[in-house]
Amino acid sequence: MQTTRQWQTGAIGPEADLKIGEARIPDVSGTMIRVRTQAVSLNFRDRLVLESGMGLPLQFPFVPASDMAGVVEAVGPDVTRFKPGDRVISTFSPDWIEGRGPGTAHTPHYQTRGGFYPGVLSEHTVLSEEWFTLAPATLDAGEASTLPCAGLTAWFALIECGRLKAGEKVLVQGTGGVALFGLQIAKAHGAEVFITSGSTEKLERASALGADHLINRHDGDWVEQFYQLTGNYGADHVLEIVGGPHLGQALKAVAVNGRISVIGVFEGFDVSAPVAPLLLKAPVVQGITVGHRRALEDLVRAVDQTGLKPVVDRRYAFEELPEALDHLYRGPFGKVVIEF
Amino acid sequence: MQTTRQWQTGAIGPEADLKIGEARIPDVSGTMIRVRTQAVSLNFRDRLVLESGMGLPLQFPFVPASDMAGVVEAVGPDVTRFKPGDRVISTFSPDWIEGRGPGTAHTPHYQTRGGFYPGVLSEHTVLSEEWFTLAPATLDAGEASTLPCAGLTAWFALIECGRLKAGEKVLVQGTGGVALFGLQIAKAHGAEVFITSGSTEKLERASALGADHLINRHDGDWVEQFYQLTGNYGADHVLEIVGGPHLGQALKAVAVNGRISVIGVFEGFDVSAPVAPLLLKAPVVQGITVGHRRALEDLVRAVDQTGLKPVVDRRYAFEELPEALDHLYRGPFGKVVIEF
Amino acid sequence: MQTTRQWQTGAIGPEADLKIGEARIPDVSGTMIRVRTQAVSLNFRDRLVLESGMGLPLQFPFVPASDMAGVVEAVGPDVTRFKPGDRVISTFSPDWIEGRGPGTAHTPHYQTRGGFYPGVLSEHTVLSEEWFTLAPATLDAGEASTLPCAGLTAWFALIECGRLKAGEKVLVQGTGGVALFGLQIAKAHGAEVFITSGSTEKLERASALGADHLINRHDGDWVEQFYQLTGNYGADHVLEIVGGPHLGQALKAVAVNGRISVIGVFEGFDVSAPVAPLLLKAPVVQGITVGHRRALEDLVRAVDQTGLKPVVDRRYAFEELPEALDHLYRGPFGKVVIEF
Amino acid sequence: MQTTRQWQTGAIGPEADLKIGEARIPDVSGTMIRVRTQAVSLNFRDRLVLESGMGLPLQFPFVPASDMAGVVEAVGPDVTRFKPGDRVISTFSPDWIEGRGPGTAHTPHYQTRGGFYPGVLSEHTVLSEEWFTLAPATLDAGEASTLPCAGLTAWFALIECGRLKAGEKVLVQGTGGVALFGLQIAKAHGAEVFITSGSTEKLERASALGADHLINRHDGDWVEQFYQLTGNYGADHVLEIVGGPHLGQALKAVAVNGRISVIGVFEGFDVSAPVAPLLLKAPVVQGITVGHRRALEDLVRAVDQTGLKPVVDRRYAFEELPEALDHLYRGPFGKVVIEF
């Protein structure tokens, strides 16, 4: 019987005792595959889960984090989608293959890796082949690990739901992981991208990634700046990543019949906004919680075709998880990655 | 020179002096048509304009109301869409023929009859042929006059934007004009309709119109009732007509990936809602301010084909406008109409 | 070890020896369910498979037919979607759950029951739960068995792909199974239905089902009749069921930017048509080969909500399969069903 | 009274007498604008009109060609969309602003410049402002003149109707004007482009424009080459520009549930194809005859944003029209333009 190392904790909140432990590696049977983890991408949500549990029914010892890239080491006899040696990435919501999301109005599913399901900070995992998809050939493992959550969220908002086309105006708020994917995906489709930040240095880095217009939130009312830059037209697409009453700003900025994708942490916050622009401009406002596997496959294909390289702010070693989690609070430019 | 009688006021708010006056009827030239008004349908919005002006640049003497049905009496030499004798209805936003709505992010247009443009409570009007469309053959003038605003709002929400199909679950709030059109349009497409009201008597009348499930808001938490009726599935479509913090209830009721159409008066209200269902269920939330002329033409065609009869709560004579406006505050079941 | 009776043949074409045989019933394990067949619906395609094999890699003894309704008798330990006693119907393409169809440009899948996979003319089957969906509560087994192929084909064409709405004009060719479903589904969505046939008697029966306009193909050029009935507008949707050069007639009949769904047997036929209407009217022409499971679930929901009753021309006993197959050549009005 | 020079003919076919003539320039009134032509782009269709009339009710003397770019010199008192000095381009179908195309099933409109309406080979024209849209700021007049027909056709097929997204596979047939726009528009959206030609030299030029894969039609069965290049996946989008029985090749090449846009001259040709791939792959086949003004405005915006430069094979002087028309028969690489 083999074992694997994993980051785990026996509790969440103040009693959390995150440390490297060991777990048994199950045998590979049926449609299961064994995957050796090469990289894990962290999300701000991983901190929230560790700090509060987010109301989820966690299993202890709990292994955190939702997104990884790795290599298939062994496949069960009924596996059809993969073979040993294939490079794969995880899916955020393993039960959501395509179409309508799972769950009901009363209880929508939030059954993701690193929450309802165990996380990915394990050197080996044995899981159904349905929980994975092929990694892009053009990305290394660290880059590929950023696609399942941050990359897919931006893609699902702008492309799967938003059907972005060249020439449209996209407003991206901030320079975090989803925001920079939004910038890159929008540019890959020929859009005009406006990015907001409170940091001149981050805006300059965004410019190097292709942002067409930089809006410093410290230079007065950013919505007014945006109106001027667009001749009052507004944004065809807004990636609203801030949350809370900030939705009102997004409603000011959105074009007539534009689209606001609401993305963000969802612990205890309300959204609020004046109803006048919601009615008079009739935008679509849609919450986005990542997306389904088929769209992730579309994103992988697009990444390989366009040469899009995810922005990794810093790569940490497996043992440096605590430092990497700290980094999340300092507002990374793009993604924070653990390499195994 | 001919004159026409019209309801007009020299001011709004406490100084309003609504009375029947006279106006000159312009000659018919170019692409203008002269229409004899046969019926006008009132909306709650008409009261708001008279009471507050709603911030609109009204022209005085101001003629109120936005929706009418009438008969073409004369056409200019360049008119191609109508001939004398044609029965027509007005359009709510005359400048919006199809596609994206007019205006900008900064200043979305709210250029409607009975507001930015003069209203319809006039026995004759001379206007561009572009401002009208053919009335349904199967409706009398009073019924037809209810389509341009109340009818089109429900159609635009459920059909033009919502692409409703048979078997879907539609939650309609209340029994006003838009709500009952929502009920009837949904039933005409084979949907399952749930209607809420605080009045048992109104619920029974809604049942006679085809509502499948009646939810009395006084019988405990209506969202819980709705969950039970749908086995927790929720609503594919919600017509959210109440406004303000009530959006939170709509977000509870909506199915995963469902649609909430926000409809309502928009004077000084905010919407607010917990963000968790917005993210976890990823519904589309879209404000609806009536719709464009091409969709009104689709509605007219559907009315003639399906035999849908708009619900007119009461018909008043031209001279009874004050009584008809008072009726709006008593919560009509369907529409209040003025016949000329 | 239990056995089941089934209709089977050791060969196709002139050597076919269709007779009732016996087969072992496998144990129920994993995600398998055992279903007792109550009714089977025949399609013209079933005759083609028996006569030519249609180029498919049939397994012998071959059990024909693709569509059934039955009752779940037992479920494997990993089954989550059904329980014993559930009434179910089969799916035509078991591998196609949602989204893009399976297969490639070079080799599109035609992996259906009663062809690539064994057919349904068996008293009991043990198969993956993924191959079934719940039957409508409002239909008996004979009626329910008609949904997986004929019903879903019409639904997929008009609703899933065509997004039909009330008031649109639908042209249905003939009075076979798909045609009558098209008529009923279109009527359930408030459409105006035009039906063609060479038989006055069949047209009258179609009228009783709700057809708005009857076009006898023996009364001169039916396209001209159709032009007159629609004031030259044409058809928003055409169900083109005849095939071959007949597509040219459909292109004449279709409205500007309308939709033609090409449905039909596909053995050795070409389609051909003048290109002028294809270019000038820019219709969508789309082949339809039934549809996916999620759309079948939508159809089931719509059937229960609208009360749509599939048209069964005649019901035969299990032993009467040969007579039932003969009936297919006599142009049934709707469906031919075998009851067990 | 001023006059303008124009290319005109008193007859079509063998009696054509194409020469430079003079015409009166009407006064500018109402919503008319006077435009000074700077460049005209020729289409193969212009030759067909001159040779056969294409069944159109031409007015003589007939001025050929449909696409131009120019400068507004004067505007009527009711003009709202333009001012003197604005750079504009023409629209191909002046009556088609948005939505469904004009005309009926019986008589679809083919009311374009250089056919039903007089053409653009005139130094000055006075027409309704509705017949123009703003030219891209980033193109010279010769380049801009290629957008109204060739550019919009490719955009309408791939983007307006096809909603192309990054990573999709686009098959472009040939290197004419529409084909190269298809290549460039697809690349601007991150697609993978496969281009076919019988000329190695043209393929190399297409490669320089961004084509990912080059398929020489003289190197054996091009569909087989394409299958190999895509691992049998096929094409998400096919621009089918060849016509006639060639549609069968497009049906072979198209992916499951892909899209074939049929574009081409339409004089006396039939399309024909085997029905099996149409049914089994269920692609959308849609004829494309250019597109509406709103989509042209979208294209203009996209051109300015992405820096797309239309490919002009050669520019001729106004007096060189005969040479330019001859060039059309030699298979230009991209567009042939007349500069004034």
Q: What is the pLDDT of residue A148?
A: 98
Mean pLDDT of D82-107: 96
Mean pLDDT of D154-171: 98
Nearest CA in chain B to C160: B165
Of the partner residues D168, D212, D302, the one whose CB lies closest to the CB of residue A166: D302
Q: How far is D206 from chain A (nearest CA, A)?
A: 18
> Please, where are the H alpha helices in chain A?
44-52, 141-144, 152-155, 177-188, 200-208, 222-229, 247-253, 275-280, 293-306, 321-329
Radius of gyration over alpha carbons of chain A, in Å? 20
Q: How far is C153 from chain B (nearest CA, A)?
A: 16
Residue B264 in this model has a pLDDT that exceeds 80: no
Per the CB < 8 A criterion, the answer to whether C150 and C336 are in contact is: no
Chain B residues with CB inside 8 Å of C304's CB? 167
What sign does the CA torsion over B118, B122, B128, B130 have? Answer: positive
Residue C242 in this model has a pLDDT that exceeds 80: no
Q: What is the pLDDT of residue D242?
A: 75
Residue C1 in this model has a pLDDT that exceeds 60: no
Between residues 106 and 125 of chain C, which touch chain D (CB distance below 8 Å)? Answer: 106-110
Mean pLDDT of B280-303: 96
Give DSSP secondary structure letters for B276-316: HHHHHS--EEEE-----HHHHHHHHHHHHHHT----EEEEE
Q: How far is C97 from chain A (nearest CA, A)?
A: 9
Give DSSP secondary structure letters for D99-144: SSPSB-SSSB----TTTTS--S-BSEEEEEGGGEEEPPTTS-HHHH
Chain position carrying tokens 């230079």 = A219
Between residues 41 and 70 of chain A, which touch chain C (CB distance below 8 Å)? Answer: none
Q: How far is B51 from chain C (nearest CA, A)?
A: 38
Per the CB < 8 A criterion, the answer to whether A158 and A185 are in contact is: yes
Q: What is the pLDDT of residue D275?
A: 84
* Cα–Cα distance, A234 to A226 (Å, whole number): 7
Residue D308 in this model has a pLDDT that exceeds 90: yes
Name the CATH topology of D151-287. Answer: Rossmann fold (3.40.50)
CB contact under 8 A, D105 and C288: no
Higher-scoring residue by pLDDT: A155, C270: A155
* Cα–Cα distance, C238 to C232 (Å, whole number): 15
Whether chain B has a CB inside 8 Å of the CB on C189: the answer is: yes
Of the partner residues D104, D262, D263, the one whose CB lies closest to the CB of residue C233: D104
| Residues forming a β-bridge with A298 | none
| Dihedral over alpha carbons D189, D194, D197, D200 (to 10 degrees) | 100
Whether chain B has a CB inside 8 Å of the CB on D29: the answer is: no
Query: For the segment D251-265, what is each residue's pLDDT rounded down to a tens digit?
Result: 999 999 999 999 975
Per the CB < 8 A criterion, the answer to whether A287 and B275 are in contact is: yes
CB contact under 8 A, C104 and D269: no
Of the partner residues B163, B164, B305, the one whose CB lies closest to the CB of residue C167: B305
Chain D residues with CB inside 8 Å of C289's CB? 279-280, 282
What sign does the CA torsion over D185, D188, D189, D195 have? Answer: positive
Residue D290 in this model has a pLDDT that exceeds 60: yes
| Residues forming a β-bridge with A74 | A34
> Which among B151, B154, B173 is positioned nearest to B162, based on CA atoms?
B154
Q: What is the pLDDT of residue D264?
A: 72
What are the phi and psi torsion angles at B46 (to 5°)? Answer: -60, -35
ipTM of the complex: 0.95
Q: Residue ranges of the domains in chain C? A: 3-146+310-339, 151-287
Q: How far is D98 from chain B (nearest CA, A)?
A: 7
Mean pLDDT of C137-144: 98
Whether chain A has a CB inside 8 Å of the CB on B21: the answer is: no
Per the CB < 8 A criterion, the answer to whether B196 and B182 are in contact is: no
Q: How far is D171 from chain A (nearest CA, A)?
A: 15
Residue D110 in this model has a pLDDT that exceeds 70: yes
Length of chain C: 340
CB contact under 8 A, D166 and A306: yes
Of the partner residues B163, B166, B306, the one whose CB lies closest to the CB of residue C302: B166
Per the CB < 8 A criterion, the answer to whether B31 and B76 are in contact is: yes
Chain C residues with CB inside 8 Å of D163's CB? none
CB contact under 8 A, D294 and B97: no
Q: Chain-centre distance of CA D335, in angstroms?
A: 9
What sign does the CA torsion over B129, B133, B138, B139 have? Answer: negative
Of the partner residues C262, C276, C288, the one whose CB lies closest to the CB of residue D266: C276
Chains with ≥3 Cβ pairs under 8 A against C?
A: A, B, D
Look up the CATH number of domain A3-146+310-339: 3.90.180.10
Query: Along the 340 residues of chain A, how does pLDDT read in single tens digits?
Result: 589 999 999 999 999 999 999 999 999 999 999 999 999 999 999 999 999 998 999 999 999 999 999 999 999 999 999 999 999 999 999 999 999 999 999 999 999 999 999 999 999 999 999 999 999 999 999 999 999 999 999 999 999 999 999 999 999 999 999 999 999 999 999 999 999 999 999 999 999 999 999 999 999 999 999 999 999 999 999 999 876 678 889 999 999 999 999 997 544 567 778 888 999 999 999 999 899 999 999 999 999 999 999 999 999 999 999 999 999 988 899 999 999 9
| Residues forming a β-bridge with C315 | C337
Q: What is the pLDDT of residue C276?
A: 87
Q: What is the pLDDT of residue B265?
A: 58
Chain A residues with CB inside 8 Å of D164's CB? 165
Whether chain A has a CB inside 8 Å of the CB on B246: the answer is: no
In this prediction, what percent of chain B has a pLDDT beyond 70?
A: 97
Nearest CA in chain A to B110: A280
**What token pair was written down for C160?**
């899933």
Least confidently predicted of B92-101, B147-156, B265-274, C267-276: B265-274
CB pairs under 8 A between A and B: 167
Chain B residues with CB inside 8 Å of C305's CB? 166-167, 190-192
At residue D319, the 3 state secondary structure works out as helix
Q: What is the pLDDT of residue B40?
A: 98
In this prediction, what percent of chain C has a pLDDT beyond 90?
A: 90
Of the partner residues B106, B233, B278, the one whose CB lies closest to the CB of residue A262: B278
Residue B27 in this model has a pLDDT that exceeds 60: yes
Q: How far is C102 from chain A (nearest CA, A)?
A: 13
CB contact under 8 A, D298 and A167: yes
Of the partner residues B159, B191, B304, the one whose CB lies closest to the CB of residue C165: B159
Confidence category of residue D274, pLDDT binned at 50, 70, 90: confident
Mean pLDDT of D102-118: 95
Chain C residues with CB inside 8 Å of A97's CB? 97-98
Query: For the segment D25-73, what is each residue's pLDDT rounded down to a tens digit?
Result: 999 999 999 999 999 999 999 999 999 998 899 999 999 999 999 999 9
Query: Which residues, at least 6 apart from B74, have a Cβ–Cβ distance to it below 8 Å?
Result: B28, B33, B34, B84
Of the partner residues C104, C232, C270, the one whose CB lies closest to the CB of residue D273: C270
Whether chain B has a CB inside 8 Å of the CB on D99: the answer is: yes
Q: What is the pLDDT of residue A1?
A: 54
Confidence category of residue D267, pLDDT binned at 50, 70, 90: very low
Nearest CA in chain D to C227: D106
Q: How far is B17 from chain A (nearest CA, A)?
A: 28
> Which among D310, D4, D316, D320 is positioned nearest to D144, based on CA atoms?
D310
C-alpha triplet C8, C12, C17: angle, nearest 5°:
50
Q: What is the pLDDT of residue C266?
A: 46
Strand runs labelled E in chain B? 3-8, 19-24, 32-42, 67-75, 87-90, 124-128, 132-134, 169-173, 192-197, 213-216, 235-240, 254-262, 270-274, 284-287, 312-317, 335-339
CB contact under 8 A, A165 and D302: yes
Q: Which helix (H) or strand (E) holds A6?
A: strand A3-8
**What token pair was written down for A203?**
């805006």
* Cα–Cα distance, C41 to C324 (Å, whole number): 10
Q: How far is A100 from chain C (nearest CA, A)?
A: 10
Residue C269 in this model has a pLDDT that exceeds 90: no
Q: What is the pLDDT of residue D202?
A: 97
Whether chain C has a CB inside 8 Å of the CB on B170: the answer is: no
**What token pair was written down for C333?**
């009005």
Chain A residues with CB inside 8 Å of C99's CB? 98-99, 294
Confidence category of residue B244, pLDDT binned at 50, 70, 90: low
The one-letter amino acid code at C247 reads: L
